[in-house]
Amino acid sequence: MVLGKRYLDDGKPLLALCDIQLETLQSVKGKIASKRYRMVSRPCPVCASDSDSDFEMLAEKDRYGITAPTVICRKCGMVQSRPYMDTESCNEFYRLEQKKLYVGNSSVSDEYFQRQQVRGNAIFKYVAAELGANLSKNSQVLEVGCSAGGILKPFHDFGCPVCGVDLAEDYVRYGRERMGMPLEYGTIDAILASGRKFDLVIYSHVLEHIVNVEEELSKIAQALAPGGHLFIEVPGVMNIANAYGGDFLLYLQNAHVWHFSLLSLKGLLARNGFNAISGTEEVKLIAKKAPPSETMNENGYSETIRFLQRQELFRPFGKAKRIAMLPFRALRKAWRMARCK
């Protein structure tokens, strides 16, 4: 059962799209229909559930009207796409279509880089506050999925030796040639081949795109220097009231395989040899390497599904942020009052 009728796969976008976006959207839909973009399913990365009966359907499409089944795992509460594009299909999508569809522009602009830099300033402040003396001018910093390199700019200006990799060639070229940032086309595999080690690895709005997220975390562990830290920033599913106006459908996009809460991200990291040392529901998190743990401390299913149901119920009244976490008795009263207006 989906969260509501508007989540059914009717092909209709929630957003108003420009001509470039509409043209790109048709290209993506065509590749999915022709199976050029192959769809796969994998076990839940947090609890390893793999039976269809373990997953509850939340949505059949994303905000662009692209077929993108989104489910929640009943055993751990991890929200995820199932099925989703395989790695090869994702890489082609990022290379040819993702920026055109999401940004609505076929070329990189100074304004885009500046917006990235604003995010980079916030990340730098957060990391500096959490790590203290562990972040210095000698700290080697890597960003995977760096786009044009704007997030790395504050670390570069601070004096850190930085490096960035991304699959969007135009954006990498812009950052390297126009902004003088040391960026490379590729993935973390290119970094591992070089043998370099880093004191800080940044994944800002990237980990949710990675199909084989367990393998990616293993590669991150290889890239970290002894005592190094991993910074992860993802669009937290329990934070939609603050970032997406309380609209879960507006939050959904086809390129996102995983929809993390702070709890599910910590569970994923623990299972794959990382220990979170800080974190917020935005989600921002800093972690370091630790022995893997198969133990799940908490099942977030009930909290997450109730949160999403409440957000959808009260979204039309513009009060989702304030009342999303009210107890059911208060919710019933609020619902009766809303119906009388």
Domain boundaries along the sequence of the chain: 110-289
* Partner residues linked to 142 by β-bridges: 163, 201
User: Rounded CA gap, 292 and 274, in Å?
Assistant: 7
> What is the rounded distance in angstroms from the CA atom of residue 262 to the CA atom of residue 85?
24
For 110-289, give the CATH class. alpha beta
* Listed residue (329, 335, 333) closest to 317, CA to CA: 335
pLDDT at 245: 84
What is residue 275's three-state secondary structure? strand
Question: What is the pTM (predicted TM-score) of this model?
Answer: 0.89
- What was the pLDDT predicted at 21? 96
Do residues 287 and 277 touch, judged by C-beta distance below 8 A? yes
Tell me how far apart the alpha carbons of residues 114 and 98 are, in angstroms, rounded to a whole number.
20
Q: Quick one: angle between helices 19-33 and 87-96, nearest 10?
A: 160
Find the radius of gyration of the CA atoms of the chain.
20
Residue 60 tokens read as 């059949």
Predicted confidence at residue 322, as pLDDT, reads: 47
- Among 196, 210, 206, 199, smallest CA distance to 288 is for 199
Q: Which mean pLDDT values do the consecutive 10-residue runs of the chain (341 residues) have?
A: 94 95 97 96 94 96 97 97 94 91 84 95 97 95 97 97 94 95 95 96 96 96 97 95 90 96 95 94 94 79 95 77 50 50 40
Q: What was the pLDDT predicted at 336?
A: 54
- Report yes or no: 184 and 164 within 8 Å, Cβ to Cβ: yes
Other C-beta atoms closer than 10 Å to the C-beta of 256 total 23
CA 146 to chain CA centroid, nearest Å:
14
Please choose, from the candidates 2, 16, 1, the residue with its C-alpha nearest in 3D space to the C-alpha of residue 250.
Answer: 16
